[in-house]
Amino acid sequence: MFELHQLEQLIAVAECKTLSAAAEKLHLSQPALSRSMQKLEAELQVPLFTRHKNKIELNENAKMAVDYARKILWQSRDMMEHLRAFDLSRRTIRVGSCAPMPMWDVLPVLSSLYPAMTISSEIKEEEALLQGLLDGTYQFVFLPYEITENGIQCKKYMEEHLFFSLPPGHALSGRKVLHLRDLNGETMLLYSDIGFWKKALEKEMPETHFLVQTEFSTFHELVKASVLPSFITNLAIKKEEETSNRINIPIDDPEASATFYLACSSETAKTYRKFLQYCFSD
Amino acid sequence: MFELHQLEQLIAVAECKTLSAAAEKLHLSQPALSRSMQKLEAELQVPLFTRHKNKIELNENAKMAVDYARKILWQSRDMMEHLRAFDLSRRTIRVGSCAPMPMWDVLPVLSSLYPAMTISSEIKEEEALLQGLLDGTYQFVFLPYEITENGIQCKKYMEEHLFFSLPPGHALSGRKVLHLRDLNGETMLLYSDIGFWKKALEKEMPETHFLVQTEFSTFHELVKASVLPSFITNLAIKKEEETSNRINIPIDDPEASATFYLACSSETAKTYRKFLQYCFSD
DNA sequence: GTAAGTTACGAGCGACGTAAAAATG
DNA sequence: CATTTTTACGTCGCTCGTAACTTAC
């Protein structure tokens, strides 16, 4: 049987019209290419060139052979690409979420449980998450509601409640409870990647002037260094409370609370059993 | 880039389930196969096996790779087959004829003009010849009538007239002219491959008892050694006349004469110009 | 004379087989 | 203990490059 490199060489000859030029293109000496083509002809048991004393031309056989060779090489490259992509996908865990918190909670767990795997995470709209879960784009998705779907497991993962984080001197800092509307119109610090919470803010606080920060660390520094109101959630309060001198006041609107459900296919539930055990052990 | 023999080896491993068995099947030492598979993995940049200390299993990547490999190898073998068939067809001249005479006339010319070519010849029905001429099955066909078709050349090649070949003692051997019906009911020697003439004989001599010979040489010997009537044509009479002591009487029926036309595509007319020049030079 | 192709020859890399080691059932 | 796989090592062969030769423009 012939080999792929011979087909590549044949194509090079067909494109360059001359052995010397093709040899140069292939980083090969011209005699080596000459011999290789002779060997290809012998293996195919078919002449490919009409040989004049110092010129060769591709004959009809060769033209047909080149067409086949192109197809075969294309398929071979296709095989490599798909294999690599498939292998990569097999060694990455893709997580999608409608909000950052559950993802932040889960990413360190995943990377410590599966150190060999790449973890990729995205914040997306709910429909995109559902779609991605079904078509395999995501192994795990966090949704703000429960779903029932064939072959899909879905379980309540955590609740998140928004708080206003106010400086002690703020006019409302003495209140026990607030509504989103209460700070509408003020200037607030806001971290950009808050996912589906954005909808509630746009609805209930349309006049608020948000200073949006895309870097979480700079957002965090600005909160500490300024007297601007911001949001914080029950899940972040624990580590913050001691260090910051801010007052966290719960927000009473239904839009300011969410229950996140973790969904995945039964298949991935089986392969990542340890992870799910950890998630729902407490 | 990987090579085809590595794909063959991978498939062998997939089929044999173990390196040792696959190595034996491939007439290769087991360590050589082990190394070759390692190299394939390296070239694909993708692991193909889960390696236990003294066992290997194909992983998901490998299953995908085997599917691709089968397709690629199938295409490679397909390429060889088609190339060889194409090459063979390029070096054979296929002639079809409705009767043996024009073909016998032409075959020695073809093989002397194109000694490198294989000549293949067939006697067929007219419709099959026409069809074969159009679809490329035949380069040249002899038909008993003229045709006009786009891209097809057709020219009168020769006339053939049937004679009865009678022994001197035959009751009708003195006649100047005969009709087919005149010998109907007698016993005659007949060569089998007479093509379209058969139709005339079946129509005009239905009661004749033909002793059919499939070998021309034995037919010829029997004609010489017996007193049975047979057919001969104007084209064969010249060389026969002196040697045989038979009397050849022309047959007057229109069915006993034919004009043969040589047809071929303009394309093949160009590549076999010499042959056509020879055919129509005199 | 330059450019292209084939053949000859010597060298180096790669693939092969044998042998050895490790591990499993 | 037989079977299977991997690693080590020495050898052989294939392919490469250089060189020489031939031919055509």
CATH topology classification for A89-154+262-279? D-Maltodextrin-Binding Protein; domain 2 (3.40.190)
The answer to whether B4-87 and B159-258 have equal CATH topology is no
Q: Is the pLDDT of residue B1 over 70?
A: yes
Contact between residue A170 and residue A227 where contact means Cβ atoms under 8 Å apart: yes
Query: Which residues of A lie closer than 8 Å to B, measured between beta carbons?
Result: 1-5, 8, 44-47, 60-61, 64-65, 68-69, 71-72, 75-76, 78-80, 82-84, 86-87, 90
Closest nucleotide (CA of A5 to C1')?
D15
Fold of B159-258: D-Maltodextrin-Binding Protein; domain 2 (3.40.190)
How do residues A200-249 score in pLDDT, each as one tens digit? 999 999 999 999 999 999 999 999 899 999 999 998 887 766 667 789 99
Are the beta carbons of B86 and A61 separated by less than 8 Å? yes
Its pTM stands at 0.76
The gap between B70 CA and D4 C1' (Å) is 26
What's the pLDDT band for B236 if we cut at 50, 70, 90?
confident
pLDDT at B53: 82
Nucleotide closest to B52 measured between CA and C1':
D5
Share of residues in chain A with pLDDT > 90 (%)? 78
Smallest CA–CA distance from B72 into chain A, residue: A72
Of the candidates A229, A236, A227, A238, the residue with the CA atom closest to the CA atom of residue A210: A229
Name the residue among A3, A65, A87 with its Cβ closest to that of B83.
Answer: A65
- The answer to whether the beta carbons of residues B205 and B181 sit under 8 Å apart is yes
- Residue B241 confidence class, pLDDT cut points 50, 70, 90: low
CB contact under 8 A, B75 and A75: yes
Q: Which of A158, A160, A167 is nearest to A226 (CA)?
A: A167
Cβ distance A68 to B60 less than 8 Å, yes or no, reads no
Q: Tell me which of A48, A66, A80 to substitute to probe the interface with B (most B C-beta atoms closer than 10 Å).
A: A80
Nucleotide lying nearest to A52, CA to C1' measure: C5
Fold of A4-87: Arc Repressor Mutant, subunit A (1.10.10)
% of chain B surpassing 70 pLDDT: 98
| Mean pLDDT to the nearest integer, B61-77 | 94
Round and report the angstrom distance from CA (B56) to C1' (C23).
13
Taking the CA of residue A114 and the nearest CA in chain B, the distance in Å comes to: 17
Give the CA-to-C1' distance from A24 to D22 in angstroms: 22
Tokens 């056989």, located at residue: A61
Q: How many CB atoms lie within 10 A of CB B56?
A: 17
CA trace torsion A8, A11, A16, A19 (10° rounding): 70
Name the nucleotide nearest A38; use CA and C1'.
C6
B227/A181 Cα distance (integer angstroms)? 127
State the pLDDT at residue B72. 95
B29 sits within 7 Å of strand D by its CB: no
The domains of chain A are located at 4-87, 89-154+262-279, 159-258
Q: Do B3 and A1 touch (CB under 8 A)?
A: no
Beta-carbon separation of A1 and B5 below 8 A: yes
Which residues from chain A sit within 8 angstroms of residue B69, using beta carbons? 79
pLDDT tens digits for range B79-110: 999 999 999 999 999 999 999 999 999 999 99
pLDDT at residue number B235? 85
Chain D nucleotides covered by protein, CB below 7 Å: 3-8, 15-20, 22-24
DSSP B82-112: HHHHHHHHHTEEEEEESSHHHHHHHHHHHHH
- Strands B92-97 and B118-123, bridge-based pairing: parallel
Distance CA(B227)–CA(B212), nearest Å, equals 15
Residue pairs between chains A and B whose CB atoms are closer than 8 Å: 82
Distance B78 CA to C19 C1' (A): 41
Q: Do B46 and A83 touch (CB under 8 A)?
A: yes
